[in-house]
Amino acid sequence: MSMGKDSNLVKLYIDIAKEYKDSILDSAVFYSQKSLDLARKVRFPNGEAQALSYLGEFKEEKGYRQEAIRYYKEAYNLYNLLKNKARAATM
């Protein structure tokens, strides 16, 4: 796959995860994790940061506070590296 196709697939997994957020939270976590894994594999840091952010949100909703904090911290650090202060501020 090319970087364009890979980054689009990362975004698609995130979109699928968001669709499951209010109905099947385990599926939201699953697709967020798929997005994170692929983003890391293809070195797509914006997608990685977004996937980390959603994993934090979904883990927090499931009651896994410590895991959520870890994901939020990773997303925060990555957003700062990317100089995306607006997104970092939401972590």
Phi/psi of residue 12, each to 5°? -65, -45
pLDDT at 82: 93
What is the radius of gyration, based on Cα positions, of the chain?
A: 12
pLDDT in tens, 34-51: 999 999 999 999 999 999
pLDDT at 12: 97
SS (H, E, C) the chain: CCHHHHHHHHHHHHHHHHHHCCCCHHHHHHHHHHHHHHHHHCCCHHHHHHHHHHHHHHHHHCCCHHHHHHHHHHHHHHHHHCCCHHHHCCC
Query: Measured between alpha carbons, how far is 56 from 71 in angstroms, rounded to an integer?
Result: 5
Per-residue pLDDT band for 73 (boundaries 50, 70, 90) equals: very high
pLDDT at 86: 84
pLDDT at 1: 52
In this model, does residue 71 exceed pLDDT 90? yes
In this model, does residue 2 exceed pLDDT 60? no
* Residue for token pair 């100089």: 83
